[in-house]
Amino acid sequence: MAAVTVSNPSRTLAFFIRLQIKQGREGKDVLPIILQDNYFSLAPGERQQISATYRVGDLGKAAPFLAVEGWNISSVVIPITSIKKQTGQR
Q: Kindly report, residue by residue over 30-84, the tens digit of the pLDDT.
A: 999 999 999 999 999 999 999 999 999 999 999 999 999 999 999 999 999 865 5
Cβ-contact 8, 42 below 8 angstroms? yes
Could you tell me which CATH class the domain 2-79 is placed in? mainly beta
* C-alpha angle 80-35-40 in degrees, rounded to nearest 5: 100
pTM: 0.83
How does DSSP classify residue 61?
A: T
Confidence of residue 2 (pLDDT cuts 50, 70, 90): confident
More confident residue, 86 or 12: 12
Q: Where are the domains of the chain?
A: 2-79
Confidence of residue 26 (pLDDT cuts 50, 70, 90): very high
What is the rounded average pLDDT of the residues 26-33? Answer: 95
Side-chain half-sphere exposure of 57, counting CA atoms within 13 A: 1
